């Protein structure tokens, strides 16, 4: 161990395993050391960035001996961009780490009584698997060490890409992203080039000034493309010229929207999305069902894996055709309609009103007559009175946000006493907390992770709960 300018450098550290949050784990004199971008088997020199009583964190400053498992990252932005941190890790090791993550959260940390966890469902595609990406315009792009910021023009400081981790005001200028298939990259690069050539101001998140703010690209398996460009203020002439140029360059854009968002954050959930050209929505298909996706709609971002995820949920629901099913956090009603043919009735509840309108329209388009949808905050909508009015659920399927379910919602579910609960989660930690609450009346009878996000530590997990026999 050597020390320089108060830095602590630990030499010849053997990386032992993959740890939480996508970091790797090593042990130094009995103390756990967490290291990002390392692979089990690497021998590295590490600069300690945080030292606590029970653990340390650090970064690799020198690769002494690379692991036999280590792969060459395929993306030139690896290590700076906050995404796809597991590129050097073989996919089978990624899957094993995610399987272990689910076990750790439910059993080792959550102390839940869980049957043997089924093998994780792998993703057929490990690149170009996302159907939605958001990019940010910034006049304060990430500056690399070999660049001289003093010699840069204002244009050279501009970037269009992703926020760099830990720096809310820094954006990495993306040249090629492996997450979304074309024409995503070409659209982004064209807009960046057009904006610079025509002097359109990129956004300054600190000073809250500029013209171009952020943009969303959504794609479907059938090739539909939705583009949403968000402006900080209205400039009809400049806006129209940009939108016309994009539409002319990319006739495959089937739905072109814009938003004027002058508020403090980038979210468009409370903003008006104005259709400029094309169709009001794009459409995804699953088992012959059509799902409308508008500019604010929630739809699982890995389309092909969503089909597998919903398949596991439907299997765990074990429907016979007689059940009343509640689909909580239904989004655009995808799961609700996916299981509707096996149920007597399905009731979907979702916070976003636009999503519920899409769900209703989807049901009509698909000829589904046994689904009802309601919009509102889950803890306000799902009450004992609501269940009395709309019928007691035999099965509840829920797919909440990362934070999990509100205690009031858990209480109503327990009072309703459905025979089965299927809990789909993107966060096994909050899921474990909620499962402990539901455990007063329910036993966990099946668990299966699904990999929706290759090259990241994120994992979806599906849990089946059945009412205990003695209740």
pLDDT digit string, tens, across residues 266-304: 999 899 999 999 999 999 999 999 999 999 888 899 999
Label residue 2 by pLDDT band (50, 70, 90): very low
**249 marked ligand binding residue:** no
Asked if residue 437 lies in contact with residue 407, where contact means CB atoms within 8 angstroms, the answer is: yes
**329 marked ligand binding residue:** yes
Arithmetic mean of pLDDT over the chain: 94
* pLDDT the model gives residue 415: 96
Question: Which of the residue ranges 2-11, 44-53, 142-151 would you say has the lowest mean pLDDT?
Answer: 2-11
What is the separation of C-alpha 376 from the centre of its chain, rounded to a whole number of angstroms?
A: 22
E strand or H helix at 247: helix 236-249
What is the separation of C-alpha 180 from the centre of its chain, rounded to a whole number of angstroms?
A: 13
Does position 168 have pLDDT exceeding 80, yes or no? no
Residues in CB range of 388: below 8 A, 6 or more apart: none
Mean pLDDT for the stretch of residues 144-173: 88
* pLDDT the model gives residue 399: 96
In angstroms and rounded to an integer, the radius of gyration of the C-alpha atoms of the chain is 24
Residues in CB range of 346: below 8 A, 6 or more apart: 324, 325, 326, 327, 336, 337, 339, 340, 370, 371, 372
Write down the catalytic residue from 81, 158, 177, 426.
426
For residues 454 and 94, give the distance between their C-alpha atoms in angstroms, rounded to a whole number: 8
Does position 3 have pLDDT exceeding 60, yes or no? no
Question: Which of the residue ranges 147-161, 232-246, 425-439 would you say has the lowest mean pLDDT?
Answer: 147-161
Please tell me the total number of residues recorded for the chain in this structure. Answer: 471
What is the separation of C-alpha 251 from the centre of its chain, rounded to a whole number of angstroms?
A: 28
Residue the block writes with tokens 């970091």: 23
**300 marked ligand binding residue:** yes
Mean pLDDT for the stretch of residues 422-444: 97
For residues 344 and 365, give the distance between their C-alpha atoms in angstroms, rounded to a whole number: 19
Percent of residues, the chain, with pLDDT higher than 70: 99
Mean pLDDT for the stretch of residues 333-338: 95
Strand order across the beta sheet in which 17-18 lies: 2-4, 7-14, 43-51, 55-65, 31-35, 24-28, 17-18
Tell which wins on pLDDT, 94 or 298.
Answer: 94
Mean pLDDT for the stretch of residues 235-240: 98
Residues in CB range of 186: below 8 A, 6 or more apart: 250
CA neighbor of 457 nearest in space, from 185, 117, 104, 137: 104
Residue 68 has which token pair? 């036999």
For residues 424 and 461, give the distance between their C-alpha atoms in angstroms, rounded to a whole number: 6
- The predicted-structure confidence for 102-138, as pLDDT tens digits, reads as follows 999 999 999 999 999 999 999 999 999 999 999 999 9
Asked if residue 300 lies in contact with residue 452, where contact means CB atoms within 8 angstroms, the answer is: yes
Percent of residues, the chain, with pLDDT higher than 90: 87
Mean pLDDT for the stretch of residues 197-218: 96
* pLDDT the model gives residue 148: 87
Does position 5 have pLDDT exceeding 70, yes or no? no
Asked if residue 362 lies in contact with residue 372, where contact means CB atoms within 8 angstroms, the answer is: no
**399 marked ligand binding residue:** yes
DSSP state, residue 40: T
Grouping H, G, I as helix, E, B as strand and the rest as coil, residue 385 is helix
| Whole-prediction pTM | 0.92
DSSP state, residue 141: B
What are the DSSP E strand ranges found in 128-254? 132-138, 159-163, 171-173, 212-219, 225-231
Label residue 1 by pLDDT band (50, 70, 90): very low
Mean pLDDT for the stretch of residues 345-355: 92
Mean pLDDT for the stretch of residues 403-432: 96
Beta bridge partners of 25: 17, 34
Any catalytic annotation for residue 426?
yes
């Amino acid at each position: 161990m050597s020390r320089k300018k108060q830095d602590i450098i630990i030499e010849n550290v053997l990386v032992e395993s993959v740890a939480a949050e996508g970091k790797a784990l090593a042990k130094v004199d009995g103390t756990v050391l967490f290291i990002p971008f390392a692979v089990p088997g690497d021998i590295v020199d590490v600069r300690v960035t945080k030292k606590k009583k029970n653990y340390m964190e650090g970064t690799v400053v020198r690769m002494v001996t690379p692991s036999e498992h280590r792969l060459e990252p395929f993306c030139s932005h690896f290590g700076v961009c906050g995404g796809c941190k597991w590129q050097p890790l073989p996919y089978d090791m990624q899957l094993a780490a995610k399987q272990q993550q689910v076990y750790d959260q439910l059993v080792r940390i959550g102390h839940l009584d869980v049957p043997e966890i089924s093998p994780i469902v792998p993703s057929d595609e490990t690149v170009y698997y996302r159907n939605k990406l958001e990019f940010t315009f910034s006049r304060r792009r990430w500056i690399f060490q070999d660049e001289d910021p003093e010699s840069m023009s204002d244009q050279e400081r501009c970037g269009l890409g992703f926020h760099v981790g830990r720096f809310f005001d820094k954006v990495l200028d993306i040249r090629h992203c492996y997450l979304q298939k074309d024409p995503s990259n070409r659209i982004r690069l064209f807009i960046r080039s057009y904006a610079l050539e025509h002097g359109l101001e990129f956004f300054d998140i600190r000073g809250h000034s500029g013209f171009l703010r952020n943009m969303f690209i959504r794609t479907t398996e059938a090739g539909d493309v939705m583009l949403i460009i968000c402006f900080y203020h209205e400039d009809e002439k400049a806006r129209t010229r940009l939108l016309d140029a994009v539409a002319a360059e990319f006739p495959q854009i089937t739905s072109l929207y814009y938003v004027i968002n002058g508020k403090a954050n980038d979210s468009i959930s409370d903003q008006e999305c104005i259709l400029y050209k094309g169709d009001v929505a794009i459409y995804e298909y699953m088992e012959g069902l059509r799902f409308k996706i508008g500019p604010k709609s929630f739809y699982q971002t890995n389309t092909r894996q969503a089909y597998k995820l919903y398949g596991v949920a439907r299997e765990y629901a074990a429907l016979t055709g007689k059940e009343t099913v509640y689909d909580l956090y239904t989004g655009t009603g995808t799961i609700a309609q996916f299981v509707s043919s096996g149920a007597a009735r399905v009731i979907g509840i979702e916070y976003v009103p636009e999503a519920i309108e899409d769900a209703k329209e989807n049901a009509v388009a698909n000829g589904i007559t046994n689904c009802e949808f309601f919009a509102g905050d889950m803890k306000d909508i799902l009450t004992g009175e609501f269940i009395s009015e709309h019928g007691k659920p035999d099965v509840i399927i829920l797919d909440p946000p990362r934070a999990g379910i509100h205690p009031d919602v858990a209480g109503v579910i327990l009072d309703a006493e459905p025979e089965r609960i299927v809990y789909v989660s993107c966060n096994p930690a909050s899921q474990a907390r909620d499962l402990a609450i539901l455990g007063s009346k329910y036993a966990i009878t099946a668990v299966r992770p699904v990999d929706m996000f290759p090259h990241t530590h994120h994992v979806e997990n599906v849990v089946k709960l059945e009412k205990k026999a003695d209740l």
